[in-house]
Amino acid sequence: MYLSSVQIKGFRNFEDCSITLSKGLTVLVGENNIGKSNFLAALELLFSPDASNRTRRLKREDFCSRAPRGDEPPEVSISCTLEGFTTPEERAVVATWMTKTEGQARVTYAYRCLPHGKPLYRKDEPLPVEHYAWVLYGGEEETNDRFEDDQLRKVSLETLSALRDAERQLRPGPRSMLAGIVARFEAGPDDKANTKAAVTQLNEALEKAKQVCDAQKAINDNLKAVSGPVFAQEGRLSPVGTEYDDLLRNLMLEVRSPNGVFQGLAANGLGFNNLVFVSALLADYERRRQGHELVLPILAIEEPEAHLHPHLQRVLNRNLRTSTSARQVIATTHSTHVASSVSLDSLVVLNRGQGNALQAVHVGRIFGLEDEKEKRQLERYLDATKSTLFFAKSVLLVEGLGEMLVLPCLARACARERFELDEQGISLVSMGGLAFRPFMRLFGAGAIQRKCVALMDSDSPDFPLEAKEVTESATVKKLREEFETEPPSPHVRLITNLKTLEYDVAVATWGSESDPRAPLANEKQVVEALRRTQGVAQSKVPRVGEIHDRNDFGKRVVDLVGAGGLDGVEKRG
């Protein structure tokens, strides 16, 4: 059994959004403040083991401010659909949640205004949240039947927040997490008796130690003095409680250091402590499932990449994808290493689309069964650099390294005001000679509603400045027909240059004369900059008056930009 989709209405920044989840691992990606943490908060209202009447009550700021106010008080609705139940235990949990769709169950949290509070509602005044109440119900429609909360608790969501403190949460104490994990394992027949005897013997030895006796006597003497002989109590220094459960609550997890010595988590790094904490949770989940205490354990992790270097990020991600301890894992991330290491079938992009409406796109479902080969091709090409496109506000796809080096410089030099691509949220993604089509499809019709421009070489066999027109390649023509004819993709544009980047740069630096053989307007400055630039072979630098081949000159300018020498060129026009 797994959580297959969630419909959220009116909660925080979710006006009305449906999110499809994968059976094993789902990774939610998107820019900051897009709603990833709010999505997990919505799930906690239903499935958190700490959920109660108090925690399920919402505040005014929990209502979506984007939703227009009408004559009726607004409501919050979170509907979770479950599928894939096969065992008797799973069927028992969802028995009263079934919908009319075969093999589908649904449970809903609703937060609405009570009848006596509706007369107090004014659409231009603060919501009367003190007259709101929450309700849980199963199936498609609410009934008067009592909701079985004990069945809901068999679907448990444990959330690791982005600001988690693994050391504190694994610390010994009255509510020790480690004690709870150990208690779920069966004790041996003589464990408790043997442990109690050993601890009692230790306590007796410590009580007889001179250092302990002297300290104990000093405390008791002062206690008798401040209390008086009638009210005075007698104290005892007891190092360890003898009851077995008390000992469990004082268990402390230690890890072996590189030099072979076990040490506490305080001496461990934050990243490794996070891994220890995740491991403890998975061990707890596995044991609770075996004891039928849980039917669907869901592990939600905000920013699993926190404090981990790229290799560990990928290792953790791979383990979460294949783990059977947590039946379902939901991760939210800003890491391109995490985003690029999962299958497209596990990736969900949260995005502001048309009308600034929030949309959730299950990336794998952009491609149909007939496109499986193209989807796998895209998975191979999406590395940690290219995956920045999932977090961008808009995307610029380019041919290769030349465009990656030149275009940011052109943006800074040619814009009326300083124009930085990163500051505008624009991802510049190199295809490296790869096929553009799979990447363009991510932003095509019915996909991610995000502006995408593909800047491609026309690779015209002619010299366009002389031929007066551009002859596009068959590949470019096919892509233009697919994305720009009826029905056009509203978010994708294909732009071709005259011939290649090198050719275009060379042509653009000629003077205003129409004759392509006219001398360069800034030839002297270009030659001087080339000579001052490290990485440019001086033997390749032409003399003033020798620059005639436009393609060759364009390639030299690309080399110049790559070596950081563009500042030596005088900006013209």
pLDDT tens-place string over residues 349-372 = 999 988 889 999 999 999 988 899
The pLDDT score that the predictor gives to residue 568 is: 42
Contact present, 436 and 400 (Cβ < 8 Å) = no
Percentage of the chain exceeding pLDDT 90: 46
Residue 444 DSSP code:
S
Q: How many residues does the chain have?
A: 573
CA distances from 8 to 12, 80, 174, 177 (A): 10, 9, 37, 32
What does the pLDDT average to over 175-184?
86
CA dist., res. 10 & res. 559, Å (int)? 54
pLDDT recorded at residue 571 = 42
DSSP 130: G
Q: How far is CA 551 from the centre of its chain?
A: 44
Q: Looking at residue 73, what is its pLDDT?
A: 95
- Contact between residue 132 and residue 111 where contact means Cβ atoms under 8 Å apart: yes
* Residue 566, pLDDT above cutoff 50: no
Q: What are 317-332's pLDDT values in tens digits?
A: 888 888 777 789 999 9
Kindly tell me if the per-residue pLDDT of 558 is higher than 70.
no
Task: Specify which residues 256 forms β-bridges with.
Answer: 262
DSSP states along 510-530: B-SSS-TTSPBTTHHHHHHHH
Task: Give backbone dihedrals phi and psi of 193, rounded to 5 degrees, phi first.
Answer: -65, -45
Given a cut of 90, is residue 230 above it in pLDDT?
no
CA angle 185, 187, 193 (to 5 degrees): 155
Whole-number Å distance between alpha carbons of 6 and 108: 10
pLDDT of residue 570 exceeding 50, the answer is no
Alpha helices in 103-256 (DSSP H): 149-152, 166-169, 177-183, 191-208, 210-231, 244-249
Comparing 464 with 181, which gets the higher pLDDT?
A: 181
Q: How confident is the model at residue 569 (pLDDT cuts 50, 70, 90)?
A: very low
**Nearest-angstrom CA–CA distance, 247 and 239:** 11
Average pLDDT rounded to a whole number, residues 48-70: 93
Please report the sign of the dihedral spanned by the C-alpha atoms of residue 304, residue 309, residue 310, residue 312: negative
**Could you give the percent of the chain with pLDDT greater than 70?**
87
Split at pLDDT 50, 70, 90, the class of 301 is very high
Look-up: residue for tokens 């080399």?
559
pLDDT at position 556 is: 61
Q: What is the pLDDT of residue 519?
A: 55
Nearest Cα neighbor of 395 from 357, 434, 445, 450 is 450
DSSP 569: S
One-letter amino acid at 250 equals N
Q: What pLDDT band is residue 204 in, cutting at 50, 70 and 90?
A: confident
pLDDT at 512 over 50: no
Nearest residue to 458 via CA among 494, 507, 417: 494
- pLDDT tens for each residue of 475-488: 888 898 889 876 78
Average pLDDT, the chain: 86
Alpha carbon distances (Å) from 301 to 29, 104, 164, 190: 12, 26, 10, 39
When pLDDT is averaged across residues 102-128 and rounded to a whole number, the result is 94
Q: Please give the average per-residue pLDDT across 11-16, as a whole number.
A: 95
Q: How many CB atoms lie within 10 A of CB 155?
A: 23
Could you report the per-residue pLDDT of 368-404, keeping only the tens digit for each? 888 999 999 999 999 999 999 999 999 999 998 888 9
